[in-house]
Copies of this chain bind each other. A is one copy, B any other.
C-alpha cells in the first residue's frame, strides 16, 4: 500500500524528469554522493512530530535499523562521520514514510527525493540565494506553469513567537502548528495553539496578525521598523539576512517569483534560519481534471545545528539545502501527458534488423551483432522466421525509425536495404557503409 510499480512509460517520463533536475544540480557544481537506505537509530529525535512515520526493521541481532525518512539527516550524519566541513552535493534516491498515502496527490510511502545541499562556513545568504535560484531554474525549465517561492526565517518566526508572549519551550510546537496554515484556515490553527499547545488566546491572536503578512522588500523594511519585532535580537538578525537575501535574488533577477511570507513555518525541527517552499499557482482556464499539482513542489532551508548532533564533540557545520518534490511534479507531468494523448517512447532503439524470407535467422544474428558492436541501438524479433509485415509493424508500434532488411538478394549483393519506417522509403546501402549511414540519420 502506498508504493507502486513504474511501467516503462512512467519510468521513461521519470528518467526525463530526474535528468532535468540532476542537470541543474550539476550546472551548479554539485558532486553526487550515495548513502544507504538503511540507517541505524541516528534517525530518532531529528524530525519532531513526524518521527512516528519512520519505518523500522525487525531486530537483526543487535542492530536497530530503520529506512531513511529523508536525505538530509543521512547527509548530516555523513558529514559528521567523515569530518567533512565543506561540500556541495546532490543526492537522488528513494525515501520511506509510514504516512497515509494520498496517491492522487502524488503522496506515496516510498518516493524519490532530489536534494541539493551546501555545507560550510560562508558569508551569509550567498549559498541560501543559490538554493532559491535552483528552485527557480528547475520549475521554469519544467514549464509547470506559474509558481511562487515563499520564504521565511526560523529566527523571524521565533522572534515573533517571543514578542507575542510564547515561552521558548513552545517555539517548536508552535512552529509545527503554524506550518498547517497552508492546509487549514487560521481559525483551526488558532484553536490547536490554544487547546493543544497551551498558548494563551492573546498570544495566538498576536501571532495571527503577523502570519497574515506577506510581501517583498517593503514588508522586510516595515518589520525592521516594527516596534516589537525590531527589539528582538533573533528577529532582527533574521530580517537583516532576509534583506540581504532579497538583494542577491534581485541580482539573480528572480524576485518576481519570491514572496516573504510570515505564515511559512516548515514542519521539521532541524531548521535554524532561512526556510522556503515553492508552490504552483492555479491557473485560469485550467482543466478541471488536473486535481494534483497545487501545493508544495520544492522546499528547504538552513539547518546549522544538525551536523553537530552527530559529532561526538558537537562541532557544527552550517548547511542549507533544497529538496525538489519530484513525485508531485511527476504526477502533474503524467496527467498532462495523458491529457495530450502523446505517447512517450520507452526505448531508444534506432534500427530493427529484419528479413523478408524464411531461413535467414543466421543472417539477422550476424548483422545485429555487427551493429551492436558498432554501438548502434538495434533489435530483432526473437522468432526464427517472422513475417516482414510483423517486423515492420513492431517498428511502428514501438517507434523504431529504421529497419535494416537483409534478404537473399541483399546478401548476394553485399548490401542492406535500409527502410525509413515513417516515410516508407527504402535504399540499398553497401554493408560496410551501413553503420555510418545509420549514424548519419
A interface residues, Cβ below 8 angstroms from B:
1, 3-8, 10-12, 14-15, 26-38, 55-58, 60, 63, 67, 78, 81-82, 87-89, 94, 96, 98, 109-110, 118, 120, 122-123, 126-127, 129-130, 133, 137, 248, 251-253, 346-349, 361-362, 365-366, 369, 372-373, 375-379, 382-384
- Given contacts A12-B32, A32-B15, are A384 and B133 in contact (CB under 8 A)? no
Q: Is B3 a contact partner of A31 (Cβ separation < 8 A)?
A: no
Write the chain B residue with the least CB distance to A126.
B382
A140 and chain B: residue at smallest CB distance = B373
Alpha-carbon distance A7/B123, docked complex (angstroms): 25
- Can you list 14 pairs linking A and B with CB atoms under 8 Å apart? A1-B63, A3-B36, A5-B33, A5-B36, A6-B34, A8-B31, A27-B376, A28-B378, A29-B347, A29-B348, A127-B382, A129-B365, A133-B372, A248-B365
Which of B63, B98, B127, B137 interacts with A60 by CB under 8 Å?
B98
Q: A38-B3, A110-B37, A369-B252 are in contact. Are A56 and B58 (CB under 8 A)?
A: yes
Candidates B31, B57, B376, B382; contact of A122 at CB < 8 Å: B382
The 5 nearest A-B residue pairs measured at CB: A122-B382, A8-B31, A3-B36, A29-B379, A6-B34
Contacts of A36 in B (CB 8 A): 3-5, 110
Instruction: A55-B60, A57-B67 are known; give 9 further A-B pairs, CB within 8 A.
Output: A10-B34, A11-B31, A27-B372, A29-B348, A29-B378, A31-B347, A126-B384, A137-B372, A137-B373
Which residues of the other chain, B, contact A253 by a CB distance below 8 angstroms? Answer: 369
Report Cα–Cα, A339/B120, bound state, in Å.
Answer: 31
The smallest beta-carbon distance between A93 and chain B, in angstroms, is: 9
Residues from chain B with a CB closer than 8 A to the CB of A34 are 5-6, 10-11, 14
- Complex: chain B residue closest to A77, CB-CB: B5
Closest to A369 in B: B252
**Residue numbers in B under 8 Å from A346 (CB-CB):** 31-32
Q: Collect the chain B residues with CB atoms within 8 Å of residue A11's CB.
A: 31-34
What is the bound-complex CA distance between A82 and B252, given in angstroms? 48
Chain B positions within 8 Å of A60 at CB level: 55, 98
Beta-carbon contact of A78 and B133 below 8 Å: no
The residues of B that contact A8 with a CB separation of less than 8 Å are 31-33, 87, 89
B347 contacts A382, C-beta separation under 8 Å = no
A7 is contacted by which of B33, B67, B248, B251 (Cβ under 8 Å)? B33
- How long is the Cα–Cα vector from A130 to B365 in the complex, in angstroms? 9
Verify B78–A5 contact, CB threshold 8 A.
Answer: yes
How many copies of this kind of chain does the complex include? 2
Q: Identify the closest chain B residue to A248 (Cβ).
A: B365
A366 to B377, CA, bound (A): 43
A248 to B375, CA, bound (A): 20
Q: A35-B6, A36-B110, A127-B382 are in contact. Are A362 and B251 (CB under 8 A)?
A: yes
CA distance A120 to B379 in the complex (A): 15
Report the nearest B residue to A29, measured CB to CB.
B379
Query: Which residues of the partner chain B approach A378 to less than 8 Å between Cβ atoms?
Result: 27-29
One of B78, B110, B349 near A29 (C-beta < 8 A): B349
Shortest CB–CB separation between residue A61 and chain B, in angstroms? 9
A109 CB contacts on chain B under 8 angstroms: 38
Among B29, B67, B81, B133, which residue has its beta carbon within 8 angstroms of that of A369?
A: B133
Closest to A118 in B: B382
**Residues of chain B lying within 8 A (CB to CB) of residue A383:** 122-123, 126
* Residues on B with beta carbons closer than 8 Å to the beta carbon of A362: 251
Measured between beta carbons, the chain B residues less than 8 angstroms from A369 are 133, 251-253
CB contact between A33 and one of B6, B28, B94 (< 8 Å): that residue: B6
A126: chain B residues at CB < 8 Å are: 361, 365, 382-384
Query: Does B122 contact A377, Cβ atoms closer than 8 Å?
Result: no
Q: Which residues of B contact A120 (CB under 8 A)?
A: 382
Contact B382 A94 (CB under 8 A): no
The answer to whether A27 and B123 have CB atoms under 8 Å apart is no
